[in-house]
Amino acid sequence: MLSYIKILRLPNLLLLALAMYCVRFFLIGTWIHQADLYFKTINTARPIAFAMSNQLFALLVTSSVLIAAAGYIINDYFDLKSDHVNRPGSNKIGKGVTRRMAMLLHIVLNVAALAIGLYLAYKCRTWRLIGIQLFTITALWFYSSYLKKSTGFGELVLSFIMALIPVSVFLYEYYFGFAELAKELNTILDSSILPPTARLGILPMVVLGYSFLAFLTDFIRQNFKDLENMEGDRLIKNHTLAVTWGTTNTRYLALTLCIIVFSIIALFEYVMWNWGLNYTLWYAMVFVQLPLMAAIVITLRAREKKQYIILSRLLYSIMIAGVLSMPVLYFDIKL
């Protein structure tokens, strides 16, 4: 049983579910709270509330978690040789979980996730939404079997999937009825007279902002992981950026991206200051920018595997801090 829990990466699955719930209740929920506050005296055809029910959203989260779990399994399936060098004893396929059972579990989880996706697409009468699940399943398979052997493509695919998390939550809410509500409110009142946090166009911008930062931060973390795993990747001829470009160039790429992310967050903090979001501002400075600054300093000095392990974990903690900034933003606006 412990072997199965190990290959499913339970902490990562819990973080995925947490991220999706935070986007729903603390990003989309923030706008709904604001809209209800400023439009509550207006009779609208649709209630100013979540368009997607909690039960259906739970199914969406379940589908995403199942796909992620299947992705971890197939990644371990193809990484047996490299993990034997990079992390001896960590890969449980062949040691507690047979290769056949791993492949069967991978297929079952993906089929279940697709079935849920089809049901959700049917419920909102938007069949194109099933493309999110199909794309993610296909991308994770090709990443594990082929793309991680191609310079840079594997890292980009994984980071794009990470960035897709907040976007997918917004898209489901949008097609379940949020679009009609927003259009109706837009015809009733010019949103430019509202506070910035309550304007109709702010929500997709905030979601895309989180998505873009998730993409960059995860891409940096992938590069640190590549530097950490160079020995095993060379063994199985994985042409990661670290293997192809060398340690120095990959380290400078990660350093440059860290500085870019630091600068983008500083720009967002200026907006927070202008909008009076003081709690969110201080949270971002302490729990996101300070760790990023530490990552920049460590990257300048990093030369050994243990330092890249620290950097990978530090970037992971920054991503968690980014997820937890959503409830801070919600309560900052609500107060």
Determine the structural domain holding residue 117 and report its residue range.
2-334
Please, are residues 232 and 83 in contact by the beta-carbon 8 Å criterion? yes
Confidence of residue 308 (pLDDT cuts 50, 70, 90): very high
- pLDDT of 93 higher than 60: yes
> pTM here?
0.92
Question: Where do we find the tokens 């890969």?
Answer: 91
Regarding predicted confidence, which is higher, 34 or 280? 280
Regarding predicted confidence, which is higher, 242 or 217? 217
State percent of the chain over pLDDT 70: 90
- Two structure tokens written together for 204: 């997709």
Task: Give the model confidence (pLDDT) of 44-79 as tens digits.
Answer: 667 778 989 999 999 999 999 999 999 988 887 776
Domain count, the chain: 1
Task: Give the model confidence (pLDDT) of 230-245 as tens digits.
Answer: 877 777 777 788 888 8
- pLDDT of 86 higher than 70: no
CA distance 39 to 45: 12
- pLDDT of 208 higher than 70: yes
- Two structure tokens written together for 208: 């895309």
Q: Which long-range contacts (CB under 8 A, 24 or more apart) does 146-155 make?
A: 148/238, 148/240, 149/237, 149/238, 149/239, 150/239, 151/239, 151/240, 151/241, 151/244, 151/245, 152/241, 152/244, 154/222, 154/238, 154/240, 155/219, 155/222, 155/223, 155/226, 155/240, 155/241
Q: pLDDT value at position 190?
A: 67
Q: pLDDT value at position 94?
A: 60
Q: Which long-range contacts (CB under 8 A, 24 or more apart) does 224-229 make?
A: 224/254, 224/308, 224/311, 224/312, 224/315, 225/308, 225/312, 226/155, 226/250, 227/251, 227/254, 227/302, 227/305, 227/308, 228/86, 228/305, 228/308, 228/309, 228/312, 229/82, 229/86
Report the candidate in 198, 201, 199, 184 with the shortest Cα–Cα distance to residue 42: 184
Regarding predicted confidence, which is higher, 8 or 294? 294
